[in-house]
Every structure is written in C-alpha cells, then in structure tokens.
Amino acid sequence: MYIKGQRWYSEGEPELGLGIILNAENKRLEVYFPLATEQRIYNIKNAPLKRFMLKAGDKFNSEQGEEFTVQDCQENNGILFYLSEADNIIPETELSAKIDLNGPLERLLAQNFDSPQFNQLRYQSYLNTRHYQEFAYKGFLGAKIRLIPHQVYVVSKVLEMQSPKVMLCDEVGLGKTIEAALITHSLIQKELVENVLIVVPDSLVNQWFVELYKKFNLSFQTINSESEEIDFSTLRRLIISTKVLNDDHTIREKLREITWDMLIIDESHQFNFAKTENDSIKFFEQVNQSSYASLFLSATPEVLGAKNLFNQLHFLDKEKYHSFEEFQQLITVSRELSQLI
C-alpha cells in the first residue's frame, strides 16, 4: 500500500535515486525523484517500485548531508521514523535521495534481488551457452554449403589441434577453399581468432571474397592490383593478393603493425620459404609466430620438388619437420603404404 511521503525506488532505474510518493489514488501513482528532478506516473497495480527501509545498524544521510546510524525504526501512519545517536529522530521524508544500490551488498541489504526461479533460469542459460561454445561442430552450422565427408573429416582433424598449423593438399576441385573457410568460420565462432589475413594470387581475390561472404557470411576487405587506398586502422579481416604483398613495401609494413590471429596462404608452393631473407617470407614468419592458426593451400605441393614441399612444412612446424632426410624417408614409407592400400 502506497502512502504519501513514503520513500520508494525504481528497480529498473535505480539511477533515479530515492523517490517520494506524492499521490496514490484512482489506480494512479505519482512519484517524485529529487535526485533526477523527475516526476513519474505509474499504474498503482504494477509499478516497478520497491520500498526503501533501513534496519538497526544501517548508515544513512539526511537531506542536509549529515550521516547517521540507525538505532531503531518505528512506523507511524505508514511513515518510517529512524532513531539515531543522540536521540535524533529523522522521518524517511528527510532522507537523502542519493542511494547506492548497484553493489551486491547494497542490493542485498535493500532486498533488491531476483527470485530463486529467475536465478535458476539464468544459471541454466549459462550452462547452455557453455555447451554451445564446446560443441565440436559449431563451425559447420550456418554455412550455405553441402557438407562432403572428406571435407568434414579434414576440418574436424584440424579443429582438434591446440594451435592448427597445417597444409591442405587436396587435388583441384576437391574443396580446399571450402575446408579453409570452414576452419576459419569455426575458429571465429569459437572466438579463438578475430583478425584473419588471407594471401591469394591476384586473380583469386574476388573469388575468395565472394565464397566467404555468400556461403559463410564472413565479410573481408580486399586488396589487389586494382584496389584504392584502404583504412588500416579499422582492418580486421583482409584478403590481399600475392603480387601486392610482394611489391608494395608500404602495405607490408602497415600489415606488420596488426596482430593477426590467423594466416591463410593459397597456392603456397609459389613462395620459396627457404629464402628467409626475402621480405615477404620475413613477414610471413612474423605473422606465423604470433598467430593462433596458419593454413597453407596447394593442389600441387611438389611441383617445384620435394625440397620445396619440405620447406613449406618446416615453416609451419619446425619441430616435426626439422630434417629433410627424415622427411624423404617418411615420403618413401607413405608411398609404399599408398600402393598397398
């Protein structure tokens, strides 16, 4: 029951401070909030207000800014009167309108908390959110593609890695771009990567942009030989042509200033990773060291010889591919197994 002079506060707008009831009749409730100098009118049956009551031991300020400690509280005609030290009696009408109900302790003391049922609902929502974050095939959802078994297998294996540094070598037409896009989409959905750099031949820049946008709803900026100036301060996801990266020193230095979470290089066999003094290779090395994931794509990884293939793999994983001789032995065994299969 609302009585003129009582102090109430808005649960939805605690920043209004402590309000005072001006009038309550005919289903109409008028409340004035001195702190915000605002007057609100509510339906008396469903007003989002909560009674402000102090208990013994609570501290409060009067309108004049004096601080008191509640010794006792008594009610008279619906109005609370607080007895403080030195036998001061302060009616609730003279309380300061400035109250702090944002902290957990203050909300608890003011009895401004949710019901157990609401807390349980919120807890279950957090659990469901966590289960969704842990869903192994989360990155496969939402893509406008028809999933093919070998692509699902490859992507699943890559996503199982702690920090994927891999080379995709499917033959032409088997979907290396789709696999790389699925991996990228999944890592972004899992919030493991944000800034993504994709390096492709000049003729494939637009193709990559369209594939990522139409099939995965991933928006990238592009730089090729026909591009105009780009704002690097807002750059987060970029598709850049190999030609521009090799030829434009200024752009390469601008890209160095960005922390890339993921690096993708299409037609990676076109780079000679043995030439560590090359500016582009130095740039790739810097990005690869700081990135969470790196993907190389090539349908003809051995077109320039087994040594070039080893250099690419050595660049990605120096610990696993540290010796060219051991790599040749591994290739020999793999070919024998392939023939047997």
User: Looking at the predicted structure, is the pLDDT value of residue 187 above 70?
Assistant: yes
**Upper half-sphere CA count for residue 274 (Cβ side, 13 Å):** 10
Supply the pLDDT for residue 105: 65
Any idea what DSSP says for residue 77?
A: T
How far is residue 178's CA from residue 195's CA, in Å, rounded to a whole number?
Answer: 19
The residue length of the chain stands at 341
Please check whether residue 55 is in contact with residue 73, taking contact to mean a CB–CB distance below 8 angstroms.
yes
Q: How confident is the model at residue 260 (pLDDT cuts 50, 70, 90)?
A: very high
Please check whether residue 91 is in contact with residue 80, taking contact to mean a CB–CB distance below 8 angstroms.
yes
How far is residue 125's CA from residue 106's CA, in Å, rounded to a whole number?
Answer: 26
Q: What are phi and psi of 82, to 5 degrees?
A: -105, 125
39-98: per-residue pLDDT in tens? Answer: 999 998 888 888 888 888 888 888 888 888 888 889 998 899 999 887 788 888 888 888
Supply the pLDDT for residue 56: 85
Strands 67-76 and 59-61: antiparallel
- Closest CA relative to residue 208, chosen from 125, 297, 291: 297
Kindly state the average pLDDT of the residues 102-111.
63
User: Looking at the predicted structure, is the pLDDT value of residue 311 above 90?
Assistant: no
Residues 6+ apart with CB under 8 A from 233: none
Supply the pLDDT for residue 110: 59
Please check whether residue 85 is in contact with residue 69, taking contact to mean a CB–CB distance below 8 angstroms.
yes
pTM, two decimal places = 0.62
